Amino acid sequence: MSRIGVAFDKARADGRALLVGCMPAGFPTVEGSIAAMTAMVEAGVDVIEVEIPYSDPVMDGPVIQRASDIALAGGVRTADTMRIIEAVAATGAPVVTMTYWNPVERYGVDVFARDLASAGGTGLITPDLIPDEADEWLAASDAHGLDRTFLVSPSSTDARLAMTVQHCRGFVYATAVMGVTGARARTSDAAPTLVSRARAVTDLPIGVGLGVGTGAQAGTVAGYADGVIVGSALVRCLLDAPTEADGLAALRALSAELAEGVRNPTR
């Protein structure tokens, strides 16, 4: 079983959901992102999702896009992301990587998989790669022992849902809303239905993302999902802060609040 799978099992045994926190690599700087992700782990985030910044992130809302733009303007390279993954993995927390497909294809799919595995990454979440187009990634992830998280959506048909989870390893990412990333005032009504549809066709743990920004929302999602995935709300802590130290303090506080939330599932 993959390291992510072990972490999910442990959380499940503790009667809680796993907290996955996302941060773009190189935001605000390479060292700054390592500090941010380390702070998240220290404050109770179980799994770090490192997003490779991309010029055209169509699944992301304005907050993550702004952070990605800052990272890219700062000159972050894919090779830097590998270094960041290595540094964060050294904290002991599993590190999963989220990336749009073109940077992987450009790096070389097999070489990317090899470097990711040797940096200590557990696998990839691929928002714009569906299993239908993923032959090269399926082979490379098998060859290098990496997890594959494809997305399922409220609009996925039963047939696509079954096909998609069959190609997943580690965990499944359920997109809670029809829309892009970004914290919302209310979490989605569609998500519990989607999770139960996915459970009917897979034993893999299911993480729910898109829209979670508070401890209470994390508790709600923890009531029906195995993992709660938070991105924009965490990123905003750094974007909105007047200084880096203030940003890290806000990040720690929100991480702790979310960690508390996943331990108090609302059922």
Residues that bind other proteins (CB under 8 A): 54-59, 61-62, 65, 69, 72, 77-78, 101-107, 127-130, 132-133, 150-157, 160, 164, 175, 177-180
Q: With respect to other proteins, which residue has the nearer C-beta, 190 or 250?
A: 190
Residue in the structure block whose two tokens are 């060292």: 31
Pair 236, 23: CB distance under 8 Å: no
Query: How many whole angstroms separate alpha carbon 217 and alpha carbon 195?
Result: 16
Nearest Cα neighbor of 178 from 198, 196, 194, 154 is 154
d(CA 30, CA 104): 19
**d(Cα 145, Cα 139) in Å, to the nearest integer?**
10
DSSP 33-69: HHHHHHHHHHTT--EEEEEPP-S--TT--HHHHHHHH
CA distance 224 to 193: 9
Q: How far is the CB of 218 from other proteins (least distance, A)?
A: 22
- Measured from the CB atom, the residue of 9 and 136 that comes closer to other proteins is 136
Q: Are 168 and 126 in contact (CB under 8 A)?
A: no
> Please, what is the minimum distance in Å from the beta carbon of residue 109 to other proteins?
12
> How far apart are CB 79 and other proteins at their closest, in Å?
8
Q: Which is nearer to other proteins, 33 or 255 (by Cβ)? A: 33
Nearer to other proteins, 149 or 220 (CB): 149
φ, ψ of residue 19 to 5 degrees: the values are -105, 120
Structure token pair of residue 65: 């896009």
Cβ-based nearer residue to other proteins, 56 or 240: 56
- Asked if 49 is an active-site residue, the reply is yes
* Given the residues 51, 60, 115, 226, the one annotated as active site: 60
Q: Could you say which DSSP state residue 228 is in?
A: E
Min separation Cβ 195 and other proteins, Å: 15
User: Could you tell me which of 177, 150, 181 has the C-alpha nearest to residue 163?
Assistant: 150
| Smallest separation (angstroms) from other proteins to the CB of 78 | 5
Residues labelled as active-site residues: 49, 60
